């Protein structure tokens, strides 16, 4: 009797975990959010799914295959479509709707004025670094088991949310915040939110010490302003493994982690990948 009860509890636990994992990322078809489209029973592993010219992450759940589409902050509300291309080049289309979302404006003061008004040498450095960062965010690797139920990479307060319109030092130019800032003391441990492989690490003008992780099928995460980096390119990571510590390198107003989640080479709200009771911090 006891053995049957333990077996039952084990099955319940396994089922509950599978259900929990299938719930993320959360669906929020707004600019900077994620749209999910159900694919019909004609979909096979040889089919490729595109939004425009970008490949789309596809996962299977209890009801079938789904496409997860990262939506850029500049996307216009209304009807959009994805294309399904089979191994013979035949195309089918599926549509989805994007609704509007307004993001608030926030004024930020940066003491290091070079981070707001860079010198000529700073700009030259940035333009040399930018292609390396863009290449990392474009990374695509085939992976039939992409882990999308993330843990929060660092314990701390969500100090600046995704999508904010930010104005530095009272300048007229508005910059969009394309990540989630988590404030924590310098030296706080940073964990990989899911299994993946380190694409590259480096020190960059604006983002400071930075790590890029490939989770598969165009899902890439980026970690900025680190004090110390504990990983290297090509290293395979498990969920929860340390990748570095919180710092103040690059353009910062205090110690924090700037966490970026890129889906189909589009920066989306990282809070869509973590449980709501955590994301409400």
Could you tell me the pTM of the whole model?
0.86
Confidence of residue 11 (pLDDT cuts 50, 70, 90): very low
How do residues 147-171 score in pLDDT, each as one tens digit? 999 999 999 999 988 988 766 655 6
Confidence of residue 93 (pLDDT cuts 50, 70, 90): very high
Cβ neighbours around 31 below 10 Å, total: 21
Report the distance separating Cα 206 and Cα 158, nearest Å. 20
How do residues 35-45 score in pLDDT, each as one tens digit? 999 998 778 88
Domain segments of the chain as ranges: 23-98, 105-279
Predicted pLDDT of residue 18: 36
Of 73, 37, 38, 36, the C-alpha closest to 268 is: 73
CATH number of the 105-279 domain: 2.70.70.10
Return the CATH fold of 23-98.
Immunoglobulin-like (2.60.40)
Report the distance separating Cα 43 and Cα 64, nearest Å. 9
Of 138, 137, 114, 136, the C-alpha closest to 126 is: 114
Report the distance separating Cα 39 and Cα 67, nearest Å. 7
Predicted pLDDT of residue 10: 39
Report the distance separating Cα 82 and Cα 1, nearest Å. 52
Asked whether the predicted pLDDT for residue 251 surpasses 90, the reply is no
How do residues 259-273 score in pLDDT, each as one tens digit? 999 999 999 999 999
The dihedrals phi and psi of 279, each to the nearest 5 degrees, come to: -70, -10
Q: What percent of the chain has pLDDT over 90?
A: 67
Predicted pLDDT of residue 8: 38
Q: Which residue has the tokens 């090509």?
A: 234
Mean pLDDT estimate for the chain: 87
Question: Is the CB of residue 162 less than 8 Å from the CB of residue 179?
Answer: yes
Asked whether the predicted pLDDT for residue 136 surpasses 60, the reply is yes
Confidence of residue 108 (pLDDT cuts 50, 70, 90): low
Give the CA count within 13 Å in the CB-facing half-sphere of 126: 15
Predicted pLDDT of residue 64: 87
Predicted pLDDT of residue 37: 95
Of 13-22, 79-88, 107-116, 128-137, the least confident = 13-22
Confidence of residue 27 (pLDDT cuts 50, 70, 90): very high
Distance, first Cα to last Cα, the chain: 43
Asked whether the predicted pLDDT for residue 94 surpasses 80, the reply is yes
**Mean pLDDT on 13-23:** 40
Q: H or E segment at 144?
A: none
**Mean pLDDT on 47-72:** 94
Asked whether the predicted pLDDT for residue 222 surpasses 70, the reply is yes
Of 48, 6, 253, the C-alpha closest to 58 is: 48
**Mean pLDDT on 23-46:** 90
């Amino acid at each position: 009797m006891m053995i049957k009860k333990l077996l039952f509890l084990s099955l319940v636990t396994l089922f509950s975990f599978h259900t929990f994992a299938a719930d993320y990322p959360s669906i929020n078809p707004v600019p900077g959010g994620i749209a999910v489209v159900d694919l019909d029973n004609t979909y096979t592993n040889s089919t490729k799914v595109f939004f425009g010219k970008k490949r789309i992450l596809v996962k299977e759940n209890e009801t079938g295959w789904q496409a997860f589409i990262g939506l850029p902050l500049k996307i216009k509300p209304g009807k959009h479509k994805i294309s399904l291309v089979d191994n013979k080049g035949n195309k089918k289309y599926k549509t989805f709707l994007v609704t509007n979302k307004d993001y608030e404006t926030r004024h930020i003061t940066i003491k290091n004025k070079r981070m707001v008004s860079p010198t000529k040498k700073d700009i030259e450095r940035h333009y040399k670094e930018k292609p390396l960062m863009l290449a990392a965010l474009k990374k695509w690797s085939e992976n039939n088991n992409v882990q999308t139920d993330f843990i929060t990479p660092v314990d701390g307060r969500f100090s600046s949310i995704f999508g904010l319109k930010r104005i530095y030092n009272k300048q007229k130019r508005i910059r969009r915040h394309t990540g989630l800032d988590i404030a924590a003391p310098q030296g706080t441990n940073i964990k990989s939110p899911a299994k993946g492989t380190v694409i590259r690490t480096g020190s960059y003008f604006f983002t400071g010490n930075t790590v890029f992780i490939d989770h598969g099928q165009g899902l890439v995460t980026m970690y900025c302003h680190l004090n110390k980096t504990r990983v290297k390119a090509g290293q395979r990571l498990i969920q929860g493994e340390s990748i570095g510590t919180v710092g103040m390198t690059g353009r910062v107003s205090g110690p924090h982690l700037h966490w970026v989640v890129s889906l189909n080479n589009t920066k989306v709200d990282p809070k869509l990948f973590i449980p709501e009771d955590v994301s409400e911090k």
